[in-house]
Amino acid sequence: MTRLTIKGAYGETNFGDDLLMCVFENYFLKEFENLQLNFVGEENNYANKLLINSTYLKPNFLPDWEVYGGGTQFFAFQSSYNTTLLQKIGIAVRNPKLVKKKLSNIFSKNNINSSKIAFIGFGIGPFYENQEAIANAKEKIAKSDFVGVRDEISYQYCSDWNIPATLGADVVFSSYFEKPNCTKSEGFNGKKKIGIIVRDWDWEKSGNNYINILIEFYKTYSDAELQFIVFAPSKDKEWIGKLKNENFLVWDPEKYSIESFLEELNVFDGFITARYHGAIIASLLNKPVICVEIEPKLRILTEQVKEIKLWEKPFDMQHLVKLVNELNYEVDYEASLKERRTNADNMLLEFKKIFAKN
């Protein structure tokens, strides 16, 4: 029996990462035999309910392989944004888990681990010329036994560092994502229903700008029914506060399963999203979607899947209205998704080959 740990931002009430965890489990259960899986993320009471035949944070679990499963594993925030000490304290207060994770990363540098290491479907950067962050990423990735990245930018980092890597895609694009049997939405009183998937963004001045404009858009746009969606209630506390008097949809893993929440999302005709996996899910549900460019990975995704539109910085209300008015509700993602799925599946196949050799 081979023991395998999969590490990620799981269990943080972020629907995208929780979905990613379940897709990884589906892959390993289908493709591997005699495997004991243990997922590692934030301590919580719900993750085990989402998993089929795996453990979560099992004590004294000594793995043969450590897999870093998806997400943006190495990055640095933009240094040109002059965050004051008071602002940094405010970010820390609103995001205590982020501080805990940073401290955990510091202390884990000296851990001695004899297990093999793999990075699968993850993103690298941006670093904004932060040389310490770059050196840390290069050192850790170079020590791994397999590297599979989700986009061309991450692949270029590996190439520049002379680290062999497989160019894949986000694992949610893979054949191991199981789309629920959803019925097509019938709209609302003749109007289309558009979901606005939000995210707190304290790291740049443009973050607050995007929030204020989206709220104004919600209040003034009348050609569609609009509803806010919160993927990560424990992280998006600023948005939760702003929406306390509104009817919004929120990922609650105690209430929903992965499948039932996907069914809730399928009721919408289209999406505006500040979350990366919000756009991926929209495309897999064959819904038109606009990405909010709060960070580079959202732009990268629109370059990979050409049908996904981009609301660019600096955020402008008229540009957003134009993009929403031009949404194609008969969008055809087939060719783009076939390429993403092929890349993700090939990456997973390459890991399986390396795993078998070892």
What CATH number should be reported for the domain holding residue 127?
A: 3.40.50
Ranges under pLDDT 50 in the chain: 79-89, 91-92, 99, 101-112
Task: Tell me: do 120 and 161 sit in the same domain.
Answer: yes
The CATH number for 286's domain is: 3.40.50.2000
For 242-274, the pLDDT digits (tens) are 999 999 999 999 999 999 999 999 999 999 999
Of all residues in the chain, what percent carry a pLDDT higher than 90?
Answer: 81
pLDDT of the residue at 201: 87
pLDDT of the residue at 126: 92
Task: Tell me: do 168 and 200 sit in the same domain.
Answer: no
Q: Please indicate, yes or no, if residue 167 is contained in any of the structural domains.
A: yes
Q: Please indicate, yes or no, if residue 168 is contained in any of the structural domains.
A: yes
Q: Are 124 and 74 in contact (CB under 8 A)?
A: yes
Q: Please indicate, yes or no, if residue 184 is contained in any of the structural domains.
A: no
Q: Please indicate, yes or no, if residue 20 is contained in any of the structural domains.
A: yes
Task: Tell me: do 255 and 347 sit in the same domain.
Answer: no
* 3-state SS class at 63: coil
Q: Please indicate, yes or no, if residue 133 is contained in any of the structural domains.
A: yes
Q: Which residue has the tokens 């510091």?
A: 106
Task: Tell me: do 150 and 237 sit in the same domain.
Answer: no
Task: Tell me: do 307 and 247 sit in the same domain.
Answer: yes
Structure letter (DSSP) for residue 224: E
Q: Please indicate, yes or no, if residue 233 is contained in any of the structural domains.
A: yes
Task: Tell me: do 110 and 217 sit in the same domain.
Answer: no
pLDDT of the residue at 202: 75
pLDDT of the residue at 331: 97
Phi-psi domain of 163 (left: phi exceeds 0; alpha: psi -120 through 50; beta: other)? beta
Segments forming the whole domain that contains residue 209: 192-327
Task: Tell me: do 134 and 283 sit in the same domain.
Answer: no
How far CA 234 is from CA of 4, 47, 169, 172, in Å, comes to 28, 15, 27, 22
Q: Please indicate, yes or no, if residue 182 is contained in any of the structural domains.
A: no
Task: Tell me: do 126 and 197 sit in the same domain.
Answer: no
Q: Please indicate, yes or no, if residue 299 is contained in any of the structural domains.
A: yes
Phi-psi domain of 130 (left: phi exceeds 0; alpha: psi -120 through 50; beta: other)? beta
* 3-state SS class at 344: helix
Task: Tell me: do 323 and 345 sit in the same domain.
Answer: no
Task: Tell me: do 8 and 150 sit in the same domain.
Answer: yes
Angle value at C-alpha 220, between 214 and 223, nearest 5 degrees = 105
Number of folded domains that form the chain: 2
How far CA 302 is from CA of 98, 206, 266, in Å, comes to 27, 20, 21
Task: Tell me: do 97 and 230 sit in the same domain.
Answer: no
- Predicted model pTM: 0.90
Q: Are 261 and 277 in contact (CB under 8 A)?
A: no
Task: Tell me: do 230 and 141 sit in the same domain.
Answer: no
pLDDT of the residue at 80: 41
